[in-house]
Structure 1
Amino acid sequence: MFEWSLTPSFPMKVNGVALEYACHGPAPDQAPTIVLLHEGLGCVALWRDFPEKLSARTGFGVLVFSRQGYGNSDPIQLPRRLDYQSKEPLEVLPHIMEQADIQRCILFGHSDGATMAAAYAGSVEDHRVRGVILMAPHFFAEPMGLAEIERARDTFNTTDLSTRMSKYHRDPEGAFRGWADVWLDPGFADWNVAEVIDYIRVPILAIQGHGDQYGTMAQLDEITDRAYCPVGRVELDCKHSPHLEASEETLAAAAEFCARLERIEAAQVETA
């Protein structure tokens, strides 16, 4: 059972897995929905107040959930498969959108979540998806990003990071290992999923910080070089989390993108 609420009574079940979620703003039968897909160590709580602000700025509903292994969702069995960013959204998102009765939506992903949003939009012909917002996306591994993850693993192994993560994650060990161990697996160095961009047929808004410690502007270049659909590109003076470090600029870009999609949709209905 799905409950459009900021504090649902029960988690939703997807493929037998309990996933925590929260909803902001109007329900899907009243307005389009933005589905937020979190980063590699993210969860519902770590979006902080961004979903609420995003709903208020756009007038859209916002659905945020924690993937398996994160937040208060069910733990995941390790090791996580190396292709999780490509396969997991195909297995999970259709069920979430069906349960929430989403009719029109924008997929808004951050970091790993952005890769997942692109993978879904480029692999599934889902007419409910009218656009994608890709914030700090990854389509291939970069040496500087891998080095940063290695430093994070050292920190996890030698400090109280696990204890601090337990404030947000039911299973901090599983959350961290399920992210870092994949990225640092020797077989992941040649990982590249950029071909999904070739098949996206809805407008894209791409957002990246110049100081992003996990990826360079080459990730956005890949989008603009390969995409056959309209692409808006926003470069910000921040690091890996534009929604927290450059919140106003990120909200403004997202709101304009949503408004433009609504204008396009209205024009199409008018001329149909």
Structure 2
Amino acid sequence: MDESAPFLQAAPWLGGQVQIETQWLNPAARGRRPLIVFLHEGLGSLAQWRDFPRQLCEAADCPGLVFSRPGYGRSTPRSAPWPRDYLQEQARALPAYFDALGLRGERLFLFGHSDGASLALLLAAYFPERVRGLVAMAPHLFIEPITFEGLRRARQAYEQGSLRAALRRHHADTDSAFFGWNDAWLNPDFQQWNIEADLRTLACPVLALQGIDDEYATLAQIEAIARLRPGTRLCVLAGCGHAPQREQPQRVIDETMALLAACED
């Protein structure tokens, strides 16, 4: 049996029971090296990370956990609309999934991208005893005008362009993945969304990375993390957009490994 093959894990989720598409990476390192948990972006999934998690885990000689949150990938779909606080909801739900995998009591190293970076920050703030450190790559802490511009472009590409077909390769229910995310963020009520107050209890080491050419946010996002968590390592990537793991993977790996080493000192 291939221990690294994706599988469906049953877990409690927001008052119900779901199936979560799950994959272990480098399982031979379990127990002797920190477990890196990958939290995908707002239109992401296990598959859409491509080979980056494996590259990072092999470089760091760490085990990895990659999964599709409910509503994404091959996990249980979730009907729209999602509430304005859906990321806060998911952060509170994730420990039950980790417990279902036998990770109760294990301190995790989180690697989050975009929505997943916001989720990593929330998870670390809500459950500081479960998180040893985190990477927040292209995070969102509050709404900016550029965020709405990117969301509207994504909707046009989904409804009139090729985005729907592209996502179909990665999600069992493409509309669940797209409209759950896009409808929530374009809802007028979402204009006041801000998680800075939630992050005041953030206590673990943090690396915050962002590309200068990010299509969804400005550097104000990672600068806010540095204000909330003194000692945060800031990494500004020139010539890089919203997906540093695809555009500058080696730089991201190098910076992550430096934080991992600091967490183990």
Describe the SS at the equivalent of 1:20.
strand
User: 1:197, CA displacement in angstroms?
Assistant: 2.6
Letter in 1 for 2:181: W
Who is 1:82 aligned against?
Answer: 84
Q: 1:19 to 1:4 in 2, by over 3 A?
A: farther
The answer as to whether partners of 1:106 and 1:130 remain within 8 angstroms in 2 is: yes
Q: Size of the alignment, in residue pairs?
A: 257
What value does the CA root-mean-square deviation take over the aligned residues? Answer: 1.5
**Residues 70-123 of structure 1: per-residue CA shift (max 9 Å, x gap):** 1111111221111111111211x2123223333231111100001011111112
Who is 1:67 aligned against?
Answer: 69
Who is 2:37 aligned against?
Answer: 35
Gaps of 5+ in 2: none
Who is 1:253 aligned against?
Answer: 255
Gaps of 5+ in 1: 265-272
Q: d(CA) in 2 for partners of 1:5 and 1:108?
A: 21
Does residue 1:6 correspond to 2:7, yes or no? no
User: 1:227, CA displacement in angstroms?
Assistant: 1.4
Q: 1:198 to 1:37 in 2, by over 3 A?
A: same
Who is 2:55 aligned against?
Answer: 53
Does residue 1:117 correspond to 2:120, yes or no? yes
Q: d(CA) in 1 for partners of 2:145 and 2:68?
A: 28
> What does residue range 73-222 of structure 1 map to in structure 2 within 5 Å?
73-91=75-93, 93-102=94-103, 103-125=106-128, 127-222=129-224
Q: 1:82 to 1:236 in 2, by over 3 A?
A: same
Describe the SS at the equivalent of 1:134.
strand
Q: d(CA) in 2 for partners of 1:164 and 1:108?
A: 24
The answer as to whether partners of 1:145 and 1:215 remain within 8 angstroms in 2 is: yes
Identity %: 37
Letter in 2 for 1:6: S
User: TM-score under structure 1 normalisation?
Assistant: 0.90
**Residues 35-94 of structure 1: per-residue CA shift (max 9 Å, x gap):** 000000000011010011110111111101001111111111221111111111211x21
Describe the SS at the equivalent of 1:168.
coil
The answer as to whether partners of 1:4 and 1:100 remain within 8 angstroms in 2 is: no
Letter in 2 for 1:115: S
User: 1:4, CA displacement in angstroms?
Assistant: 8.9
Letter in 2 for 1:5: E
The worse-fitting range, judged by mean Cα deviation, of 38-47 and 10-19 is: 10-19
Q: d(CA) in 1 for partners of 2:235 and 2:116?
A: 18
Q: d(CA) in 1 for partners of 2:22 and 2:173?
A: 17
